[in-house]
Amino acid sequence: MNDSDPAFMRLALDEARNAAAAGEVPVGAVAVRDGRVLATARNRVEERHSAVSHAEIELLHAVEAVTGDWRMDEITFYITKEPCPMCAGALVNARAGRIVFGLADPRMGGCGSALDITGHPGVLWHPEVEGGVLAEEAQRIIREFFRNSREAKKVRPGDIRRQNFQSAAYIEKFNPLMLETFGMTFDHWFKLHVWDRRYESFAIFDGARMLAHAGLFALTLSVEGRPLPAIQLNGVATTASHRGRGLSRRIIGRILEEHAGTPAFLFANDSVLEFYPRFGFRRAEDFLPVAEERLLPCPAARRITPDEARPLLEKRCQFSRVFDAADGLPIHLFHLYGECRDHIWQLSGETAAVAIQEGSTLRLLDVFGSRPTEWSEVRTRLPFSGIERIEFGFTPDFLKVDFHWERRPESRNLFLRGDFGLPEQFCFPALLET
């Protein structure tokens, strides 16, 4: 074993963890030449609906794109689990210089455990093979993945099943219920692959049909600078044919039982306002931050796509000291790629805003970027004319803007459960509402 092998295998293990978070069998791979990483890859079988999208095959394609060549005799491939016969054959055909794997696979390993593809005397190329590098860690990741998978398939008390990773099969069952209840699917969010271990989906099934659902997202809020772990309930729905049978009540009861003591919040529609107080939720009114200002349009601002805005959102460096979410990125992306996709503006190379004009009022839903900015800069870069009033969808204290609080003309149906320790006046971020 080379001295550098463990370090590169750890990179492959990171890819394996990424695969597990995406609902894929956790195998990761890294290609290295002359001590430099050329490419990384992970299993994408479920994502691509392809039986051949193993980490090794994905990595070979990535290396070909980088090097422009199919011959890889100077490259070392680090793979967290012994390649299967298909992948071992592909590595032989690619003239791989060296194969380093972690966990051996006595059932399907193609590098000597079950079959010896790489060492078979009939093949034209024999890579150097090294096994067992960080094998225990690779085995731990795989065991945890399959343990969680088995747990997700079990029928929980009250016939409730829990899913805490994204899979194509689950999405096919989830989307019809969301379409029936909310008139939309969550496909735009699923394509982002941001469903991580903080999101859990609880549901009741009749065979393959999802009858009722409630999801939770675990995040950390910031209340007057104090971190507050909390959960957000979302996607609460029951198919029309089974409403009134207590299915949602059973699911929410289970969620709150498992997260007892953790503050919880949700936004409800008008038809279920009497439902949530049964679980200890109370209605709360947040306030609307408003600035009375006239704006002159900036011709330099341009509309950008969610893909263009996402890097700036991921690098957000400013948060409200009054109330904010320190790690709400998956929920923010849900809105950015959803109803906000046509309302994103680039204010500078490092700052973007989500803004909608309604007559002389500008609804400024978010401002984010990779460097700090202030209102004196933001106001001169917004591309809207005839604006006399700005309604913020967040507490804009970090922008150093002169604003005042107003009561909202209509309630947002915000429900809280537990001790949040909120200030008297606060604004729940618009892009955190679901």
**C-alpha distance from residue 230 to each of 153, 276, 323, 428 (Å):** 26, 17, 13, 14
Query: One of 15, 56, 200, 391 is an active-site residue; which one?
Result: 56
Q: Is 87 annotated as a binding residue?
A: yes
Distance CA 434, CA 426 (A): 18
For tokens 């032989």, the residue is 92
Q: Is 126 annotated as a binding residue?
A: no
Q: For 10, list phi and psi in degrees, rounded to 5.
A: -65, -35
> 144 catalytic, yes or no?
no
- Binding-site positions: 54, 84, 87
- Binding-site positions for Zn(2+): 54, 84, 87
Q: Which residues are catalytic?
A: 56
